[in-house]
Amino acid sequence: MRAMKNEFDVQYQNLLSEILSHGFEEKNLRTGHVCKSLPGQTMRFDLEKGFPLLALRKIPLKVFIAEQAWFLMGNKNLRFLQAFTKIWDDFAEENNCVESAYGYRWRKHFGRDQIGGLIKLLQKDPTSRHGVILMWDPSDDGLADGIQKKNVPCPYTFTVQIIGGKLHLHLVIRSNDMMLGNPHDVAGFALLAHILAEKLNVGVGVLTVSISNAHIYDIHFEQAKEIISRGIEHAPIKFQCPKNAFVRAEEGDEKLVEEIFSQLRENYAPQESLGKMSIVL
């Protein structure tokens, strides 16, 4: 019987290969970098069969775990997150805040608590198809001529539905750096799906990630080739969401971050690092 493989590694390796082989090579005017890009790509994971975590190279686990807790807190101040990672520091504005922080937009920015409303909606009507969450503010984001903002949301919307007694999350990303952003985004929103499912007392289902522009920057071409050349060795990664994770995240429980980190680390044996990879801002 053939051993099961980590499904994220399989899909990720295939998508990198497609981009390098068939991607459109163009210079991005905003960044000045050459990219290879493909439109309209989709990744799909049955979360019951394994947590989608990249094992073809090591990724920092605490970053996406702490980030999701920070999102659910609804904060735009970076203080909580900075105890674990400096990943958002480049986007900090006045008073150590990120005005476009996803969690702030989920919970406060639009004059309503979208996440709180989602929980109430699906508790009342598990068959509802109205569970849509937005991070994109059409009054302020995008369509700008010459105006440079520190951060415009890349994952910009997701839907949550309960079908067949399981929670399914569909994430849409307008622009995805496949070498740095994608593994982080997929793992983060998989964790969010687990946390929401635990709160709603349902099983976890399918995570679908739709990417409008999947790209690899020129400075990462060789590292992408190295990933493609590696054999897929890792088995599916087990994960069980801690009890009361939703409320604990809302309250900024740092022990929750450590608890999730410890569980994933036990089941995670990634291949060697690719070395430093620079972020293109």
pLDDT exceeds 80 at position 147:
no
Give per-residue pLDDT as tens, 183-238. Answer: 999 999 999 999 999 999 999 999 999 999 999 999 999 999 999 999 999 999 99
pLDDT for position 2: 61
- The pLDDT of 21-46, averaged and rounded, is 94
Question: What mean pLDDT is reported for the chain?
Answer: 95
Is residue 85 pLDDT above 80, yes or no? Answer: yes
Q: Tell me: pLDDT of 258 over 90.
A: yes
Q: What is the pTM of this model?
A: 0.96
User: What pLDDT score does 150 carry?
Assistant: 75
Active site residue 154: yes
- Tens-digit pLDDT profile for residues 174-198: 999 999 999 999 999 999 999 999 9
Choosing from 35, 97, 154, 241, the catalytic residue is: 154
pLDDT band, residue 31 (cuts 50/70/90) = confident
Q: How far is residue 172's CA from residue 191's CA, in Å, rounded to a whole number?
A: 16
* Mean pLDDT in residue range 51-71: 97
134 pLDDT higher than 50: yes
pLDDT score of 29 more than 90: no
In the chain the domains, ranked by start, together with CATH numbers, are 7-266 (3.30.572.10)
- pLDDT of residue 1 exceeding 70, the answer is no
